[in-house]
Amino acid sequence: MNEKRTYKRYPPSFKEEAVALVTEQGYTVIEAAKSLGIRP
């Protein structure tokens, strides 16, 4: 049970798009995550 957890890395452009959905387009964090296919 000593499995190391791996995390997916996202490019800066993807992160910027995710933030823009919330800050500029009025999405909630949950809505933005769903639209991008990621977990909130």
Which domain range does residue 33 map to?
A: 9-40
pLDDT at 2 over 90: no
Assigned domain for 28 exists: yes
Whole-number Å distance between alpha carbons of 7 and 27: 24
Assigned domain for 1 exists: no
Alpha-carbon distances of 12 from 17, 19, 28, rounded to whole Å: 9, 11, 20
pLDDT in tens, 3-30: 888 888 999 999 999 999 999 999 999 9
pLDDT band at 34 (very low <50, low <70, confident <90, very high): very high
* pTM more than 0.75: no
Assigned domain for 23 exists: yes
